[in-house]
Chain A
Amino acid sequence: MKEIQQYTEDQRDCLQEIVNVAMGQAGDSLARLLEVFVTLSVPKIKTLRPNEVRDALQSFVDAEFVSAIRQSFHDSQGQKGLRGEALVVFGDSSFRELAELLAYDDEELSEVLEQELLLDIANVLNGACLNGIAEQLEEELIYSPPSILGQRVPVEKLFQHDQMKWEMALSVEINYKLENRSFNSDLLLLLPDTAIDYLARKLDEFLE
């Protein structure tokens, strides 16, 4: 098992830049969909234990209530290859703005409509970002259908850490903000320990 601290300087830097390029592609997709300017910041990469995920989520989603979508992905090598979970988390105020930007007019936002919005935006962010990473690493990813982890719930209600079947995960945190709006969304990629090792080898190939 490898922690990010054990990645070489080159591997860390390489991953950071690959994520940076993928984030840019996802940001562009979001900007085109919503016709707004998306403000990007430097992605944060670190290792987390299952019991640290909740605090990590809490610290980067600056909202009391959040909604989240979860989608797992893997390559053709199954357990041994590149695989993980992508979580897209939205702050509470994001719905109203999304509805407005996507011209849902004054329709009362029903729970179903909100779910639709969540899934649509998560699809755009996940798809563009993960494909961007996979493409650079010459991997092909297979995605599970996205599912709603929680809707307008406190962060601690999102999931229990005993649901996570790994001891250590690599977390990649990407924040998307819309200029002059309070919309705030985070994409958290969690790669389990076996995938951390695999990724290290892929990064070495990339660096050659």
Chain B
Amino acid sequence: MTIPLLICDDSNMARKQVTKSLPDNWDVDITYATNGVEGLEAIREGKGEMVFLDLTMPEMDGYEVLQHIKKEGHKSVIIVISADIQPEARERVVGDGALDFIKKPINKAKLEEVLRKYGLL
């Protein structure tokens, strides 16, 4: 079944890097968002069953997006992909409902490893 996948990052290059790192033949329907506000909107519209979320973004950052998702009760599976590599950043996002955290820059191997770890592939 096709998975609605949301890629939320303010950088076009980062969005492309994530897209290029997706597993081959993975059946997803990709929506892009360039900040947290757009991302949350897409999740409300059901376009983010799975979400790859950046943290440092204008308008609304990733931490706030996680808070909203929790408050509104969306069942999205969220993987944070961020350059904010402080160990505490990871703890915080996992505490706020993200499944896992991947350090930027992303690549195919890193993403696949995480997806396999949780049986998402």
Q: Is the CB of A14 within 8 A of B13?
A: yes
Which residues of the other chain, B, contact A13 by a CB distance below 8 angstroms?
A: 11-13
- Which bracket fits the contact residues of A? 20 to 34
Which residues of the other chain, B, contact A37 by a CB distance below 8 angstroms?
A: 86, 88-89
Which residues of the other chain, A, contact B84 by a CB distance below 8 angstroms?
A: 24, 27-28, 40
* Residues of A contacting B: mostly: helix
- CB within 8 Å of B: which of A12-65? 13-14, 16-17, 20-25, 27-28, 31-32, 37-38, 40-42
Q: Does A204 contact B (CB under 8 A)?
A: no
Given contacts A31-B88, A40-B56, contact A16 B82 (CB under 8 A): no
In chain B, what residue has the closest Cβ to A30?
Answer: B86
Q: Does A100 contact B (CB under 8 A)?
A: no
Q: Does B83 contact A (CB under 8 A)?
A: yes
Q: Is the CB of A16 within 8 A of B11?
A: yes
Complex Cα spacing A41 to B54, Å: 12
In chain A, what residue has the closest Cβ to B89?
Answer: A37
Which residues of the other chain, B, contact A9 by a CB distance below 8 angstroms?
A: 12
Q: Is the CB of B86 within 8 A of A27?
A: yes
Given contacts A40-B56, A41-B56, A42-B56, contact A17 B86 (CB under 8 A): no
Q: Is the CB of A21 within 8 A of B104?
A: yes
Q: Does B22 contact A (CB under 8 A)?
A: no
Given contacts A24-B56, A27-B85, 5 further A-B contacts (CB under 8 A): A20-B14, A23-B83, A25-B85, A37-B86, A40-B84
**Can you give 22 A-B contacts (C-beta < 8 A)?**
A10-B13, A13-B13, A16-B13, A20-B11, A20-B14, A20-B83, A21-B83, A21-B105, A22-B83, A24-B83, A24-B85, A24-B104, A25-B83, A27-B84, A28-B84, A28-B86, A31-B86, A31-B88, A37-B88, A42-B56, A42-B57, A42-B58
